[in-house]
Structure 1
């Protein structure tokens, strides 16, 4: 290959390098966002019914609360499973280090409650579906370092709800206003339809 051919390839090589650099920047940005700021997760299974659907919800979790220890009892969190470190589970935070937690002893013992004091540096997590969940009642307090983030948005439910309302409006010939309330305590977006 002669020097003339290299000069002809130089613009293509330069452009390829620039595109590669741009892709690398985007991948670094995605990595930093996913590792330190927020991440997407998919819930599946019955353990968090009725908060999350059995077939799965796409959720968004922020990671700053866990890094600065700003979580509180009642938050829904992503946790690396103490039984299988490759698996991330979604549970409700019921107690932090030093808290006393009461929990149902088992499905047949609705009246019997056990009590535990959560050790420092640990959290107590439970599924919302009390008797169909694999949580701290089975494996005990979880080290705080396994908490990966705090769920703050159910993305799939919002999109799905919007599609249902749009179809309903078209079928009924109604004028409607869709208001979504993102307060976590409400668990579901509120729909207010004016017709």
Structure 2
């Protein structure tokens, strides 16, 4: 049935479409190269991300703040205590969570007593893991619930808040005072 239809090559030859095809091929190559550059930059250098929800109050708003996230710190093992990071959720790998690093491998982290988490305890962060907690101690599902997070799940370090504009600026890596009162 399809034998009556002329082949694409025959059409190209008949209507002199060679220059059009070579221009399309050239443009597709440029678009492919640009896409690869954007992908590599976003995956290994820097990207824009949104942090929303109550777990990082008062540092970030519940409706969402737009952040710049850099990946070099996680690739080279330069994450420190106090840094705000984005990581794959331990409970749902399709979800990304925004938390503060409160312990690196070998650190002892004290979990105070609470009605939700039970009696207080001290946890030693195992090798290759970090301890993540939200700044909103009362309303955050974090390492206190699911334990230390493998370093490989870290996506990057948030270093700049760009939106809302009136709150734009560098994100502090200093542990907020309210952690010391717990």
Q: TM-score range by the shorter chain?
A: 0.7 to 0.9
CA contact (8 A) 2:83 2:174 kept: no
- Please list the CA deviations of residues 69-111 of structure 1 after superposition, one character each: whole Å capped at 9, or x if unmatched: 11110000011111111111000000000001123332689xx
Q: Residues of 1 paired with 2:136 and 2:26: CA distance?
A: 51
Task: Say if 2:6 is the partner of 1:18.
Answer: no
CA contact (8 A) 2:67 2:160 kept: yes
- After superposition, residues 156-195 of structure 1 pair within 5 angstroms as 156-157=163-164, 160-161=165-166, 182=170, 184-185=172-173
CA contact (8 A) 1:107 1:131 kept: no
Mind listing any 5+ residue stretches in structure 2 that lack a counterpart?
A: 1-9, 176-182
CA contact (8 A) 1:80 1:87 kept: yes
Task: Say if 2:61 is the partner of 1:45.
Answer: no
In structure 1, the residue matched to 2:82 is 74
Q: Residues of 2 paired with 1:29 and 1:140: CA distance?
A: 36
* Distance change (3 Å), C-alpha of 1:9 and 1:124: same
Which residue of 126, 129, 142 corresponds with 1:135? Answer: 142
Number of residue pairs matched by the alignment:
165
CA contact (8 A) 1:79 1:88 kept: yes
Larger RCO (CA under 8 A, 6+ residues apart)? 2
TM-score scaled by length of structure 2: 0.82
CA contact (8 A) 2:129 2:149 kept: yes
Partner SS for 2:73: helix
CA contact (8 A) 1:46 1:133 kept: yes
Aligned-CA RMSD value: 2.4
| TM-superposed deviation, 1:53 | 0.7
| TM-superposed deviation, 1:4 | 5.5
| TM-superposed deviation, 1:2 | 6.6
Mind listing any 5+ residue stretches in structure 1 that lack a counterpart?
A: 163-179, 188-195
Q: Residues of 1 paired with 2:106 and 2:14: CA distance?
A: 72
* Distance change (3 Å), C-alpha of 1:185 and 1:81: closer
